[in-house]
Amino acid sequence: MAGENLTIVVEFILLGFSDQPELQGLLFGIFLVIYLSILIGNGLIIVLTKVDPALQTPMYFFLGNFSFTEICYTSVTLPRMLINIWTKNRNISFVACAIQLGFLLILGTPECLLLGIMAYDRYLAICKPLHYPLIMTHKLCVQLLAGSWSIGIPVQIAQTYQIFSLPFYGSNKLNHVFCDPRPLLRVACKDTFVNELSIYAGALLFLMIPFLLILWSYIKITSIILKLPSTTGRYKAFSTCSSHVMVVGLFFGSMIVTYLQPKLSDSAKNEKIFSLFYTILTPMFNPLIYTLRNKDVITALKKLLCKCGGTKNS
The rounded mean pLDDT for the chain is 86
- For the chain, what is the domain count? 1
Give the angle subtended at the CA of 304 by the CAs of 137 and 66, to the nearest 5°: 45
- Any domain includes 131: no
Per DSSP, the three-state class of 167 is coil
- Any domain includes 283: yes
- Any domain includes 64: yes
Give the amino acid at 163: I
- Any domain includes 16: yes
Query: The domain containing residue 248 runs over which residues?
Result: 10-126+136-309
Mean pLDDT of 91-115: 94
The 10s digit of each residue's pLDDT in 162-204 is 999 999 987 889 989 999 998 999 899 888 889 888 888 888 8
Distance CA 8, CA 80 (A): 24
pLDDT at 235 over 80: no
H or E element: which one contains 57? none
Contact 104, 280 (CB under 8 A): no
Contact 272, 174 (CB under 8 A): no
- Any domain includes 4: no
Pairwise pLDDT comparison (219 vs 309), residue with the higher score = 219
List the 173-174 sheet strands across, edge first: 91-93, 11-14, 173-174
Largest CA distance in the chain: 76
pLDDT at 1 over 80: no
Mean pLDDT of 52-70: 93
Which of these, 252, 286, 279, lies nearest to 40 by C-alpha position?
286
Contact 218, 245 (CB under 8 A): yes
**Neighbour-count burial for 161-189, b at 16+ CB within 10 Å, e otherwise:** eebbeeebbebbebbbbbbbbbbbbbbbe
- Any domain includes 302: yes
Distance CA 103, CA 72 (A): 9
Over its C-alpha atoms, the chain yields an Rg (Å, rounded) of 22
pLDDT at 308 over 60: yes
CATH of the domain at 200: 1.20.1070.10
Contact 78, 35 (CB under 8 A): yes
When pLDDT is cut at 50, 70 and 90, the band that residue 4 belongs to is: very low
When pLDDT is cut at 50, 70 and 90, the band that residue 138 belongs to is: very high
Per DSSP, the three-state class of 93 is strand
Task: Give the per-residue pLDDT at 313.
Answer: 58
Q: Which ranges constitute the DSSP H helices of the chain?
A: 24-51, 58-87, 94-127, 132-135, 138-150, 153-164, 181-187, 193-203, 209-226, 231-260, 267-276, 282-292, 295-313
pLDDT at 264 over 70: no
Task: Give the per-residue pLDDT at 314.
Answer: 54
pLDDT at 312 over 80: no
Q: How many CA atoms, within 13 angstroms, populate the side-chain half-sphere of residue 258?
A: 23
Helix axes 138-150, 94-127, angle to 10 degrees: 150
- pTM for the full model? 0.89
Q: Which of the residue ranges 14-18, 26-30, 194-198 has the most confident prediction, judged by mean pLDDT?
A: 26-30
- Any domain includes 53: yes
Which of these, 194, 102, 86, lies nearest to 155 by C-alpha position?
102
When pLDDT is cut at 50, 70 and 90, the band that residue 263 belongs to is: low
- Any domain includes 74: yes
